Amino acid sequence: MENLDNQYLLLTPGPLSTSRTVREAMLRDWCTWDDEYNKDIVEAIRKQLVELATGAEGYTSVLMQGSGTASVEATIGSIIPQQGKLLVVNNGAYGERIGQIAQYLNIEHTIIELGEVVQPNAAQLADIIDNDPAITHVAMVHCETTTGMLNPVEAVCDVVKSRNKIMILDAMSSFGGIPLDIGKLGIDFMISSANKCIQGVPGFGFVIARQDELEKCKGRARSLSLDLYDQWQCMENNHGKWRFTSPTHTVRAFYQAMQELHEEGGVEARYQRYASNQKILVAGMEKLGFKCLLDKSLHSPIITSFYSPEADEYEFKMFYNLLKEKGFVIYPGKVSNADCFRIGNIGDVYNADMRRLIDAIESAMYWV
């Protein structure tokens, strides 16, 4: 199987290539007050998201308009009380962004600065928490797409929950593509987005939360439009109604994408496809002489960073344009101290597509 339907494949951290049926789901208009939309689509999505995240009792979900970052900001700004303190685990651009959000919102916080190629260390994390009793919440990115690193969520959650702190996981680029039971891990708030591994389109994010912790958040929000508690209450009390204008077409596309995830075989089947895509990608790139930024033990099945060729003639923009002409869009690097680029292998992308990509890259290596 391969995707030959798009003008080019988006091999990026998101938005991603989607199926024709997901795109076609947006061809109908919807009324935000109608039960056919709120009860049959929004409420179904909310229920399915919780079921996808955990088999444990006591979780709920809330959808938020905007980008994935908007949902991260809604969470950080809504759940931490005025006297609370956030510990941010930062080993990439998206961990850094959580720290920026805390700074903008005047939330007391500490940042563990690890650099972009280092995983969090459980012992170091435990030491920081144990020596700062003011810390109430800990936030970490699961898959840091700055490099493609998959962070050790189990070890971090063990430290955080054994010390009775609130665990916030930014699973933007991993939820739906990597098996994860947030109930077993003790995660209190998990954040993701419509246009990632569920393979929907941009327009909203979502938070899956431990309900008893979300219930404590009334009046804490530092923003009207990003009030996570009020949005949840509105959906709970009005059968899925959003407080403000709902991104109806995006929501309907996501409903279709959730059905297609189920038809594929669920998260495990999708994980296997993504993982095999990534293995084909790395093997093919290494055969062409490219080197991975990270050790393979740190790789995720989501996106991979490669060092740029050392040839003087190489220029990323030219390489990018040549690949785009051949039907593939890749991503520039985001690592501060390494010249690299990134290639994603998630979305409606298959093994045959990755093999076509390797052939396209070989023919686009004008500097050789």
To the question of whether residue 342 is assigned a binding role by annotation, the answer is yes
Contact (Cβ atoms closer than 8 angstroms) between residue 315 and residue 366: no
In whole angstroms, give the CA distance from residue 200 to residue 206: 13
d(CA 171, CA 107): 22
How far apart CA 245 and CA 185 sit, in angstroms, is 34
Question: By CB neighbour count within 10 A (0-12 exposed, 13-18 middle, 19+ buried), where does 210 fall?
Answer: buried
CB-based contacts of 219: which residues, under 8 Å, 6+ apart? 229
**DSSP per residue, 288-335:** TT--BSS-GGGB-SSEEEEEPP--TT--HHHHHHHHHHTTEE-EE---
| Residue 9 and residue 354 in contact, taking contact as beta carbons nearer than 8 Å | no
Q: How many CB atoms lie within 10 A of CB 364?
A: 19
Which residues sit in the known binding site? 342
Which residues sit in the known binding site for substrate? 342
